[in-house]
Every structure is written in structure tokens, then in C-alpha cells.
């Protein structure tokens, strides 16, 4: 199990939301690049998860300067939020993104997802964000009637390299991840799955290791790191057993 620290950017600052609510924001750093350097310095390898929160609402990339800054700092990263055009995928990959995370556009336009996977094989992940088992879009502001497992299967069939599964009700709450929902998604597809949302303790990371046999090989951690619930070194040790 690999640890993936999260850096969410809104208004140029490093923030965290609770359950995707833009009115429940905590600012943790005025400099998201410096924060990413801290996390990656402790991590030593792997990847940083970058979320463009402004982009998720507007449908455009709002953090291109920060992406180039991350590349100049030699920080490997994946990025998602508001990426809804092939041109935008090309832009963020040129800026240094190792993976591009699609969400709303992947759900609304399956042909767009298929084309992106064809042009950039192995580089396209899909952020599957769910509330009560149903897919949510537009920065989690819009709910659908699409079951998460059904969408996961469509994503895998389209050629996505990975699914990042987030239970919105758990995200930012430090109440523990939704292990069973993540397991259900992973068992329904044949591609790797990243667990996201609600990690609060070292015990959560140990429990996540039980999902590895089902195809879950990464765990994104945000608020727990920012609040000092544990260190990245402790998280890595728990993830590796």
C-alpha cells in the first residue's frame, strides 16, 4: 500500500474542505508548493495528489503556474479538478503531471474519456466521488443517480489506468474511510483503485491493507497529516506492514 499525501489548492492557498463543502474550508498553508515539498521530502518517493478546487467549480484549470512550480521542484504529482477538455489534459501533462484525474467530464462524456485514454495510455485516472453510493459531479455539488460500481465498470472498460474512490460523506471528517464501498468498487474492476476520504488514524491505514488483495494499492491522506494525527513516516510503516 502506497501513501499519497493530498494538497488541495483554492485561491492560491493550501486548504481542506469538509465533505466537499466550500463553506467549510480550513487554510493550512499560504504556499501549496512549499507544503508539497514538505510532504514529498518526508515521503521520499511516490506521488502527491493535487486538487484544483477552483477548477472543479469553474471547469477550467486554475493552477497552471503552481503545476509548473511543482515540476521545477522535482515533485511528482497527479492533478484533478475541472479537467474537461483534451486540450487541458495536454496542458497539465506538459506542466509535468504524471497522472491526470478526470471526474465530471468522464461521467458526462464517455467518448471523451475513451479518447483521453487512447492518447495518453496509462496516464488517465478517474476520480469516482460518491455520496450514498451514487456518483457526484461538479466539485461534489451535483448528485446523480448513477451507482458508483456501475460507473467504475464503465471507466475500466474505457481504458482508465486507475480509479480514485472517495466517499464524500467521509472526506475531511477524519471519521474513517468507507472500506466496504471501496472494496466493492475494486472488486468490480480490473484496474488499481486508490482509497480516499476520511483517513484519521494509523489503524485506518492498517485496515486498508486488507483491501490490497482486491486491487486497492494506494491511500490518499489529507486532513490527518495536516492535523498531525501521525507522520508520513508512521503512515508508510503502517502501509507496508
Any idea which residues carry the catalytic annotation?
8, 129
d(CA 125, CA 80): 9
Structural contact between residues 164 and 196, judged by C-beta atoms closer than 8 angstroms: yes
d(CA 117, CA 126): 10
Sole residue written with cell 484533478: 80
DSSP 109: -
d(CA 225, CA 6): 9
Sole residue written with cell 465498470: 153
Structural contact between residues 165 and 181, judged by C-beta atoms closer than 8 angstroms: yes
d(CA 130, CA 93): 26
Q: Which element (helix H / strand E) includes 72?
A: helix 64-72
Q: Which element (helix H / strand E) includes 208?
A: helix 202-208
In the three-class reduction of DSSP (H, G, I as helix; E, B as strand; rest coil), residue 18 is classed as strand
Q: In whole angstroms, how far apart are CA 209 and each of 152, 180, 219, 231?
A: 21, 13, 10, 18
Structural contact between residues 220 and 2, judged by C-beta atoms closer than 8 angstroms: no
Amino acid at each position: 500500500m502506497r501513501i499519497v499525501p493530498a494538497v488541495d489548492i483554492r485561491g492560491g492557498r493550501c486548504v481542506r474542505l469538509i465533505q466537499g463543502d466550500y463553506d467549510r474550508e480550513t487554510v493550512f498553508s499560504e504556499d501549496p508548493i512549499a507544503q508539497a515539498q514538505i510532504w514529498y521530502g518526508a515521503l521520499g518517493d511516490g506521488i502527491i495528489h493535487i486538487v484544483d478546487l477552483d477548477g472543479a467549480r469553474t471547469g477550467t484549470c486554475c493552477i497552471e503556474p503552481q503545476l509548473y512550480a511543482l515540476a521545477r521542484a522535482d515533485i511528482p504529482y497527479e492533478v484533478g479538478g475541472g479537467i474537461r477538455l483534451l486540450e487541458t489534459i495536454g496542458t497539465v501533462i506538459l506542466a509535468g503531471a504524471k497522472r491526470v484525474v478526470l471526474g465530471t467530464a468522464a461521467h458526462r462524456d464517455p467518448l471523451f474519456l475513451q479518447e483521453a485514454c487512447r492518447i495518453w495510455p496509462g496516464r488517465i485516472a478517474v476520480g469516482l466521488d460518491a455520496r450514498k453510493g451514487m456518483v457526484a459531479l461538479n466539485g461534489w455539488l451535483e448528485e446523480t443517480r448513477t451507482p458508483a460500481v456501475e460507473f467504475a465498470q464503465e471507466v475500466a472498460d474505457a481504458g482508465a489506468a486507475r480509479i480514485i474512490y472517495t466517499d464524500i460523506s467521509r472526506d475531511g471528517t477524519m471519521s474513517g474511510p468507507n472500506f466496504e464501498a471501496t472494496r466493492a468498487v475494486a472488486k468490480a474492476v480490473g484496474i488499481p483503485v486508490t482509497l480516499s476520504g476520511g483517513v484519521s488514524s494509523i489503524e485506518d491505514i492498517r485496515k486498508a491493507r486488507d483491501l490490497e488483495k482486491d486491487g486497492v494499492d494506494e491511500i490518499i491522506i489529507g486532513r490527518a497529516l495536516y492535523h498531525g494525527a501521525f507522520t508520513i513516516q508512521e503512515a508508510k510503516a503502517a502501509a507496508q506492514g
